[in-house]
Amino acid sequence: MCGIFGYAGRNIPDEDKMKTALDTLRHRGPDQEGIFSDTETDWKLWMGHRRLSILDLSEAGRQPFVTPDRRVTVAVNGEIYNYRELREELEKQGAHFRSNSDSEVLLWGFCFNGESFFRRLRGMYAAAVWDRRNSSPRLLLLRDRMGIKPLYYHLRAETLVFASELKAITALPECREKTDPVALDHYLLLRYIPSPLTIYKNTFKVSPGQYAVFENGKCRTETYWKIRIPETKFSGTPEDAADELDRLLNEAVREELMSDVPLGAFLSGGIDSSLICAIAQRHLSAGKLKTFTIGFETKQEDESRHAAKIAEYLGVDHTCEIMTEKDLFAILPRLPDIYDEPYGDDSAMPTYLLSAVARKQVTTALSGDGGDELFFGYNNLSVLWKFAWIDEYVPRLLRRCGGKILEKLFGTGCLPGRCGAVVSYDRFDDMYGMISGIYSWLRFEHLTGRRFDSAHSVLRRTLKEFEKQVPSRYLAPFLDMALYLPDDICCKVDRASMAHSLEVRPPLLDHRIVEFAISLPFSYQYDRRHGGKRILKKVLERYIPRTLWDRPKQGFSTPLGDWFRTALKDSSRQLLTPETIHREWNFNPEFIRKLLEDHWLERRNNQYFLWLLYVLAVWQQKKNPNNP
């Protein structure tokens, strides 16, 4: 795992500025630094790489990798799991490798096969490829299919600056931009900022399964893979599906165990991480798998006792550390530096602590991320299902008119009125935003004084990919797969783990497993009688008795509700003053005052709404002095 940073344009800033920006990524790659520059043509490049050594720990693995004629250069962050078979093929084509690094296959694969080679890669990766074999040099920025690894770029005045994290880009004064109001609106609705948006204007994320091409001062994006609903669904029985998933999981886990440094796994005691740990333990050639859990003093947030039972059954080398509220609270001031833009998922804090615990013993760890999104495991699906049923069986005009009548009669302060507002939605993404969003359409209007522009949102663009192929009942998991998974879950884990120089690998996000999950009949994923994760549970039963893991889903949460009545009460009052609210964001101060008072007096639990605003205020105070 590594960090990359680079600058392409007609003129390159001085070396000291470039190195200062690269140094902001030292936590991603504390082991080595590598630099490449090319000033031989009108279009110039400076590329830096910070390395966390996982495979080929020798000097030969230092990046960027460059061809002998200096015409092609690559810098990679991540892991390519099928690099051995790719290397064998490339050597037959004439490639001359100088290392045993998995990343070097991208250099020679691109040299021999161009962009088509991207579709051959299996793994998690973000990469920059400099190609000046033709008269017009090109810079390609590549991101893995599921968006496990991050890659950002800033584009302005025929110049492109790219990096693994935003902090490296904003380290250059000329790249510091004002807040993008469209991105801020998405944050208020979703609690994260979806690709390709970032909180800054003229600055973007490379979207999952895409690569950006910068040539002659202009940038375009190309898609090499995306989530597609296959024309022919899986035709076997549920037991056949479990057999195939079992086979794919074993193959993915076996590949992801490759490492020249100590390796372990996260174990929460839930379905996903328990299955990954069980398979990993079977494939270890010697010794016990090191597994890691954190527990909390409060039983409501603590899952450690469940993880301990699973660990005992599997016979792994298990470590659990109990964290206090003070441990969690100490992370708050660091959040803007870790995430670089507003990020409202409070589980980032326990993920940060878990990564710190694991890093004491290992350099890379497996995780169970992706199971809920791929196999329909979230609790909100049952709520969305009910409203989607109305969408499928009630004519749109009748549904909308009936909903608006209910909303008008009762108002949105009570359940019938809120249900009316929900069913009167225009398109499914509106309903998804109302139910799945932290603020929802209604609270967004109260906060900002206007409607969320759903017609031009990332949600609407994403919905168009699926709505003609997927029944309304099952649209939410596909929106989660395409947006929530890369830009909330993967973002959370990448930043929290890399802050400790820990690499985290999610076998469930192997694209072969993703494609298989999408191919399953929807009823194999979820139905009203069995709930979600039907096939995943069938596989887990083969490894661990159901009595050890069959229980209600529990999130990786924090005691936010209590914090806003105690430790965060004064600071939230100071940060969310009417003057600040109006000056910085033009929000409705009376609405926020009501949120705070209702929560303090325990009239309503507003913890997640307040957390979203609190994180935004902390970020604003620390990271964005140029906001208008």
Classify residue 292 by its DSSP letter. E
**Is 414 labeled as catalytic in the residue annotation?**
no
Average per-residue pLDDT in the chain?
91
**Mean pLDDT across 434-458:** 79
- Position 399 pLDDT exceeds 60: yes
Average pLDDT over residues 480-496: 97
Candidates 2, 111, 277, 490; catalytic one: 2
Mean pLDDT score, 333-349: 94
Strands in 317-323's sheet, in edge-to-edge order, are: 317-323, 290-296, 263-266, 364-366, 503-505
Q: What pLDDT was estimated at residue 627?
A: 46
Quote helix, strand, coil % in the chain, to nearest 5: 50, 15, 35
Average pLDDT of 59-80? 93
In this prediction, residue 251 has a pLDDT band, given cuts at 50, 70 and 90, of very high
Q: What is the pLDDT of residue 113?
A: 96
Residue 623: pLDDT above 90? no
What values do phi and psi take at 143, rounded to 5? -125, 145
Joined tokens for residue 538: 């069938």
Does residue 286 or residue 460 have the better pLDDT? 460
373: pLDDT strictly greater than 50: yes
Whether 628 has a pLDDT exceeding 50, the answer reads no
| Domains, the chain | 2-180+189-223 (3.60.20.10), 227-556 (3.40.50.620), 560-623 (no CATH)
Contact predicate 136/216, CB 8 Å = yes
- In this structure, the number of other CB atoms found within 10 A of the CB of residue 557 comes to 17
Give CA–CA dist 14/293, Å, rounded: 45
Question: Angle formed by the axes of helices 396-410 and 415-423, to 10°?
Answer: 150
Higher pLDDT, 62 or 151: 151
Partners of 2 in the beta sheet?
Answer: 51
Is residue 549 within 8 Å of 274, Cβ to Cβ? yes
- The total number of residues shown for the chain amounts to 628
**DSSP per-residue codes, 225-279:** ------SS---S-HHHHHHHHHHHHHHHHHHHT--SS-EEEE--SSHHHHHHHHH
Q: Is the pLDDT of residue 605 over 70?
A: yes
Q: Decide which of 229 and 433 is more confident.
A: 229
Higher pLDDT, 138 or 621: 138
Give the pLDDT of residue 624.
Answer: 55
pLDDT of residue 19: 97
Query: Is the per-residue pLDDT at 180 higher than 70?
Result: yes
Please tell me the distance from the alpha carbon of residue 278 to that of residue 187, in angstroms, as a whole number: 37
